[in-house]
Amino acid sequence: MNTKYAIGVDYGTESGRAVLVSLENGKEIADHITPYKHVVIDEKLPESDINLDYEWALQHPQDYLEVLQQSIPVILEKSGVHPDNIIGLGIDFTACTMLPLDKNREPLSNNPSLKDNPHSWVKLWKHHAAQDEANQINAIAEQRGEHFLQRYGGKISSEWMIAKIWQILNEAPEIYEEADLFVEATDWVISKLTGSLVRNSCTAGYKSIWHKKDGYPSKEFFRALDPRLEDLVDTKLRGEVVSIGTKAGELTEEMAKLIGLNAGMAIAVGNVDAHVSVPAMGVTQPGKLVLTMGTSICALLLGDEEKEVEGMCGVVEDGIIPGFFGYEAGQSAVGDIFAWYVDQAVPEYVKHSAVEDGMNIHSWLEKKASDYKPGETGLLALDWWNGNRSVLVDTDLSGMMLGMTLQTKPEEIYRALLESTAFGTRRIIDTFTNNGLEVNEIYVCGGLPHKNKLLLQIYADVSNRVIKIADSFHTPALGAAMFGAVSAGAANGGFDTIHEATKKMARIKEEVIVPIPENVIIYEKLYQEYVLLHDYFGCGENHVMKRLRAIRVNAI
């Protein structure tokens, strides 16, 4: 009767998931997924049929609110838990997923006079059309000797806030002028729940070049980018930056009626999907690399001090766990690569064989690929189907497969793609360790670890490290719920710190994946070949991928 609960809402790339969690042991009591009605908008704008350019990825803000309105009532009904016993709610989100707001804090895409302009919509994390702006940001920051650049591995990504804002200014100045604020989607959703808008320190630090001690870059830097950006921080990026793990506000009467919870309930400051997974797996100390494995991979590591690491997405003090420096790196496509292959490239006989064997295509290919030993396929791939996030930070790079013959089978290609993503992760691990950050073991969560055992064994063998697996199928939502419980505080049945929440609610499986010594030896040889290709095509010796992209753009 005295059990208290929290809700975590995990906003992914294609859907949102609400999970009701017990504060006693972190067990999920009920969950519900709401697919986004508009999914990823990357070809045409809704209703208007306006074509989008290459590398665009947008979303509809209403889809986010429908997750709250549809999924939360369902989990309440399924669980039978009374709202009086639910003390807090937290959300996590993809990032940088940003949108322009008007003076009423409403998305510009809701305005009938602006909705036909693509720049008025939410720009999803994997919107890469601001690469030109990112290149200029990096060049100017390097010329000026801006110290902040090294906190982001030497490059600011096209996926992040400033590059996306500058693209809007360059291509749609009328939208830039109309925007009262540019915000992360996670902060906007929190504002709809609480009635007030605050910026969370996690996305501000990792995605908006904000620093706990130094703040944003100087006006002089923004003026050097573009005189029109000089006052960006004071105007369209204004607003309090609030630490994660604190309370953003309380649930409004209006939203309480819509979603079936009690008004006044604690709402946590917004957070990032990968980052909330760290405490949800019990990781609160350095030396443990957390990989959130889904459409992409986010690699997260804690450190005792701030170090400069090539190609990292950022290092932020208190960015993941208070009291530590949180390091982020990642890969722009992992599950997306496997999905591309299954959807676009496997022959019909594979699809028929999978149906006959009562399996989905991924499972069928995984089973067949498991029959091969490391190196037996003779194939080697670069995992850049959606560019490279770490350590090269270059979205203009593309995928490559080497070693195919007339005898190459679909399952061999599939295995080579799995291996390529493991090599990409190993490159990130090596970069961390070469800069004095220990990586002693790996923790994994997300959809892929629960679906593909071959993938996990390959990662263990390539990295030569033990892998531990999340016990929850909804690790980000669990982490978000933990922060929701912290926002409520111990006085209300929650926790005063994320460390306290972790002790009771974090969950990992007893099963571990151990490297196979003979596989480690072979994969070390293959990895060295991967590094040669990685550096040859990614570090400037051969820009053929960029030249092909330029030819393609000019041909369209």
The most distant pair of C-alpha atoms in the chain lies apart, rounded to whole Å, by: 68
Three-state DSSP string of 94-151: CCCCEEEECCCCCEHHHCCCCCCCHHHCEECCCCCCCHHHHHHHHHHHHHHCCHHHHH
Cα distance between residue 257 and residue 250, in whole Å: 14
pLDDT score recorded for residue 182? 98
For 50-104, what is each residue's pLDDT tens digit? 999 989 999 999 999 999 999 999 999 999 999 999 999 999 999 999 999 999 9
Rounded mean pLDDT, 513-518: 98
Cα distance between residue 458 and residue 519, in whole Å: 9
pLDDT score recorded for residue 287? 97
Cα separations (Å) of 405 from 36, 135, 377? 41, 38, 10
The CA angle 39-43-392, to the nearest 5 degrees, is 85
Q: Which residues contact 188 (CB under 8 A, 6 or more apart)?
A: 61, 64, 99, 101, 105, 107, 197
pLDDT score recorded for residue 135? 94
Site of tokens 């105007």: 235
Residue 554 has pLDDT above 70, yes or no: yes
Cα distance between residue 413 and residue 404, in whole Å: 8
Cα distance between residue 335 and residue 337, in whole Å: 5
Cα distance between residue 527 and residue 341, in whole Å: 22
Cα distance between residue 305 and residue 323, in whole Å: 10
For 2-50, what is each residue's pLDDT tens digit? 899 999 999 999 999 999 999 999 999 999 999 999 999 999 999 888 9
Rounded mean pLDDT, 528-554: 95
pLDDT score recorded for residue 101? 98
Alpha carbon 17 to its chain centroid, in Å, reads: 15
Residue 338 has pLDDT above 70, yes or no: yes
Whether 116 and 33 have beta carbons less than 8 Å apart is answered as: no
pLDDT score recorded for residue 553? 86
Backbone angles phi, psi at 387, to 5 degrees: 80, -175
For 180-196, what is each residue's pLDDT tens digit? 999 999 999 999 999 99
For β-strands 297-303 and 467-470, DSSP reports them as: unpaired
The average confidence (pLDDT) of the chain is: 96
Residue 556 has pLDDT above 80, yes or no: no
> Which amino acid makes up residue 445?
C
DSSP bridge partners of 200 = 242
Cα distance between residue 319 and residue 326, in whole Å: 5
Rounded mean pLDDT, 406-430: 98
Instruction: List the structure tokens of 135.
Output: 């290149």
Cα distance between residue 218 and residue 233, in whole Å: 9
For 349-393, what is each residue's pLDDT tens digit? 999 999 999 999 999 999 999 999 999 999 999 999 999 999 998
What is the SS3 assignment for 511?
A: strand
Cα distance between residue 439 and residue 291, in whole Å: 12
Whether 155 and 393 have beta carbons less than 8 Å apart is answered as: yes
Residue 469 has pLDDT above 60, yes or no: yes
Asked whether the whole model's pTM tops 0.85, one would answer yes
Backbone angles phi, psi at 289, to 5 degrees: -90, 125
Q: Which of 410, 442, 445 is nearest to 513 (CA)?
A: 442
Rounded mean pLDDT, 311-333: 93
For β-strands 439-445 and 467-470, DSSP reports them as: parallel
Cα separations (Å) of 450 from 288, 292, 439, 513? 20, 12, 23, 13
Rounded mean pLDDT, 513-536: 98
Residue 283, preceding peptide bond in cis (omega within 30° of 0) = no
pLDDT band at 545 (very low <50, low <70, confident <90, very high): very high
Whether 321 and 244 have beta carbons less than 8 Å apart is answered as: no
pLDDT band at 1 (very low <50, low <70, confident <90, very high): low
Q: In this structure, how many other beta carbons lie within 10 angstroms of the beta carbon of residue 347? A: 10
* Nearest 10 degrees: Cα torsion 158, 159, 165, 167: 40
What is the SS3 assignment for 16?
A: strand
> Which amino acid makes up residue 101?
L
Q: Which residues contact 535 (CB under 8 A, 6 or more apart)?
A: 541
